[in-house]
Amino acid sequence: MELVQKIRELAESHLSDPNHFLVDVLISKYKPTKIVVQLDGDKGISIDSCAEVSRKLSEDLESQNLIEGAYNLEVGTPGLDVPLKMKRQYFANVGRTVKVQVKSKSYHEGKLLEITEERIVIETPSKEKKKELIKMEILFSDIEKTIVTVSFN
């Protein structure tokens, strides 16, 4: 079994809240090996929950001798600059402002209103009337990447 897949399974087995989920596992090729485990939740995830998964996962890595030599383990949430990777993350960000890059390389920014299996709906300023807001549907198949933007309003 590939190391990334094994770490995914171990990390998922330590998620005690069904609203928490694994987003990604990244492993560097440099020494010492750096393992980054990204977690999220339908309503966010606490630092305590991340720390608990980190402790248990670290015990697994040691007891099963999965990493040869020294390694660094980071368990946390994806940063704000990390694109959403799972549809489940879109649901957790309803009501927030997102910047969506579509495959044509154009961007659309607006408030995330709705998600279905096939698409998202954002509320964005009209190109014709800047003060008027319109609803724009974007198919998941057309999305290159989506980033949640920070607003200080």
Which part of the chain has CATH 2.30.30.100?
87-148
Question: For position 2, what pLDDT does the model report?
Answer: 92
- Distance, CA of 50 to CA of 153 (rounded, Å): 29
Query: CATH top-level class for 3-76?
Result: alpha beta
Question: For position 49, what pLDDT does the model report?
Answer: 96
Query: CATH top-level class for 87-148?
Result: mainly beta
Question: For position 79, what pLDDT does the model report?
Answer: 84
Which part of the chain has CATH 3.30.300.70?
3-76
User: Which residues, 6 or more positions from 75, have their beta carbon under 8 angstroms from its beta carbon?
Assistant: 11, 37, 39, 50, 51, 53, 54, 57
Residue ranges of the chain with per-residue pLDDT less than 70: 1, 152-153
Question: What's the pTM?
Answer: 0.82
Question: For position 128, what pLDDT does the model report?
Answer: 82
The H or E element that residue 9 is part of is helix 3-13
- Distance, CA of 142 to CA of 153 (rounded, Å): 30
